[in-house]
Structure 1
């Protein structure tokens, strides 16, 4: 390799490294670095698949895909497997691969699904850092069926940079989650030590006021103050529970049972499976379960709730069911309350499924499934 070529390669890696170090949003970073890579190498088309531990891929970034691959909102790129993904999942891809015919393009041509613009092959490079694997970088150009050694070496260097950036982002997110939990615990302690104690003192003072006066109107006022203080204490305890899930160390079901009892609900539980649940999933189910139980207390006009919990090796299902008043709900309509949205959003954020069933007079059922 000539001095000029080496200098150009170093310049390319420097530009991409700077781009990778600028942000923390995975999709934005991958889209930007892919665009930069194609520009500086003269290649025209590329896409990045992120692949999870179960071998499921999703299209994280793409640039200048031919119409055959972009039809139907890029459905062909998002569904099904292909040779590069299969090789990755079978641990057959260890480094940049020179020539790989694209199964997705072949299928598009067979189905006359649109113009391919001369793209038939691509180089594919696994993305990783250390022992961690994240997905695939694929690049190509019309009528290009061969990549030189120096091209593959550059792609491998870029792929390693991307993998390192993905690992950094993952670690940063984990640190942020840990910091958030610590902050919630601190806030819960502060609320318990200050506001909770003040409300308790107010309740005792109001009770003493009732005993000290013989005037009916004054007694009534003190009784009203005491009732308000007790209600605020209940709300404060619920808030502290939400901030700091005491008892979660004894298991999710135990924590939800204790939370239901704290709300004054009688809870029946049915638990199946003994597989361990990832911490992030357990935290989400705890928050969702809290919201569901709080909704039962506030809206169902029932004091009995059923909790079904089924854990398998690849996912967990949770159902919260009451026999209360229910309400009219149609699946195609928008979720009617903020509480229900607060259950649906974290479920879908973890690629899970949220289902609500309710009819007037027939109670309400919340079904949650989260894969892992």
Structure 2
């Protein structure tokens, strides 16, 4: 490698590193880095797959893909496997690989979509940090079917930079989640030690006042104060549960059964083949389950709720159902009728899941959550 070429590569790595150090949002960061990479290397086309440990993948960034790969909202890039992803899954892709004929391009040609912009091959580089892998970086250019050792070495160095940045962002997100959990625990503890005890004392004082009062009007006032204090105490206990669920350390099922008991509900669980869940998924299920059980307590007129939890086709399925009053729901228009239900839907979709609501008058309500794991 000539001195000028070495200096050029160092400059490229420096520019990429500066971008990666500034980024905080994964998709935006990957798009910026990919555009910069193609610009400084003179390549034209690139895309990045993020690949989960279970093998599922997403097209996280792309730059100047040929029309043959972008039709129907990038369907050729988002469905099916290809050789580079297959090699990645099998652990056969450990470094930058030269001259991979693109199966997605071949499939496009077979489907008579010939607008490939003369792209036939690409280099593939795994994104990793240490032993942890995150996905693939693919780059190519029209008529280019070979990448030199120098080009592959540069791509591998850039891919390692990207993998390190992804690792950093993952650790930062985990740190923020831990800080949020610690703050919720502190707030729950403070509420329990102060407001909760004050409400309990107020309830006892009101009951004592009602017993000591001589005229009926004063008795009635004290009784009303006691009822209000008891209601506020119940609301406070539910809030403390939401902030710091007792039993979540023993799993989502145990936590939801305990929360149901606190509400006066009997939760009847059926659990099949569920293993330990990622903390983010478990936290999301907990919040969704809380809202579902609270809705049942308020609106169903029932004291029994069925909870079903299983794993099907790499998706976790949670179903919470009751046989209560129900309500009219037009699933065709998919208009969510309440903020609580919308919150459950939003939390599900934030986990890339599917929210299914079924209800009709006097036939109960069924909420089904499907989340990839």
Pairwise same-fold verdict (TM > 0.5): yes
Alpha-carbon shift at residue 29 of structure 1 (Å) = 0.7
Alpha-carbon shift at residue 248 of structure 1 (Å) = 1.9
Contact 2:272–2:310, Cα closer than 8 Å, also in 1: yes
Q: Which residue of 1 aligns with 2:132?
A: 132
Distance in 2 (CA, whole Å) between partners of 1:77 and 1:329 is 36
**Is 1:299 paired with 2:299?**
yes
Q: Which residue of 2 aligns with 1:51?
A: 51
Alpha-carbon shift at residue 346 of structure 1 (Å) = 2.4
Q: Which residue of 1 aligns with 2:15?
A: 15
Contact 1:274–1:312, Cα closer than 8 Å, also in 2: no
**Is 1:359 paired with 2:360?**
yes
1:162-201 residue pairs with structure 2 within 5 A? 162-201=162-201
**Offset from partner CA, 1:230-284 (integer Å, 9 cap, x none):** 1010000001001001122233222211211110112222232353333332222
Contact 1:273–1:312, Cα closer than 8 Å, also in 2: no
Q: Secondary structure at the match of 1:199?
A: helix
Contact 1:119–1:143, Cα closer than 8 Å, also in 2: yes
Alpha-carbon shift at residue 58 of structure 1 (Å) = 0.7
Alpha-carbon shift at residue 350 of structure 1 (Å) = 2.4
**Offset from partner CA, 1:131-176 (integer Å, 9 cap, x none):** 0111110111111111122111110110000010011111111111
TM-score by length of 1: 0.96
Distance in 1 (CA, whole Å) between partners of 2:271 and 2:142 is 56
Contact 2:309–2:317, Cα closer than 8 Å, also in 1: yes
Contact 2:108–2:114, Cα closer than 8 Å, also in 1: yes
Contact 1:206–1:223, Cα closer than 8 Å, also in 2: yes
Distance in 2 (CA, whole Å) between partners of 1:239 and 1:257 is 16
1:258-297 residue pairs with structure 2 within 5 A? 258-273=258-273, 275-297=275-297
Q: Which residue of 2 aligns with 1:61?
A: 61
Contact 1:48–1:137, Cα closer than 8 Å, also in 2: yes
Alpha carbons of structure 1 residues 255 and 20: separation in structure 2 relative to 1, 3 Å: same
Alpha-carbon shift at residue 206 of structure 1 (Å) = 1.6
For structure 2, the 5+ residue unaligned runs are none
Worse overlay, 194-203 or 333-342: 333-342
TM-score by length of 2: 0.96
**Is 1:344 paired with 2:345?**
yes
Distance in 2 (CA, whole Å) between partners of 1:251 and 1:63 is 43
For structure 1, the 5+ residue unaligned runs are none
Contact 1:43–1:141, Cα closer than 8 Å, also in 2: yes
Distance in 1 (CA, whole Å) between partners of 2:160 and 2:138 is 14
Q: Secondary structure at the match of 1:217?
A: helix
Distance in 2 (CA, whole Å) between partners of 1:249 and 1:48 is 36
Contact 1:275–1:313, Cα closer than 8 Å, also in 2: no
- Alpha carbon RMSD of aligned pairs, Å? 1.6
Q: Which residue of 1 aligns with 2:102?
A: 102
Distance in 1 (CA, whole Å) between partners of 2:183 and 2:169 is 21
**Offset from partner CA, 1:21-52 (integer Å, 9 cap, x none):** 10221101100000000010111110000111
Aligned length: 372
Alpha carbons of structure 1 residues 282 and 338: separation in structure 2 relative to 1, 3 Å: same
Worse overlay, 241-250 or 134-143: 241-250
Alpha carbons of structure 1 residues 192 and 114: separation in structure 2 relative to 1, 3 Å: farther
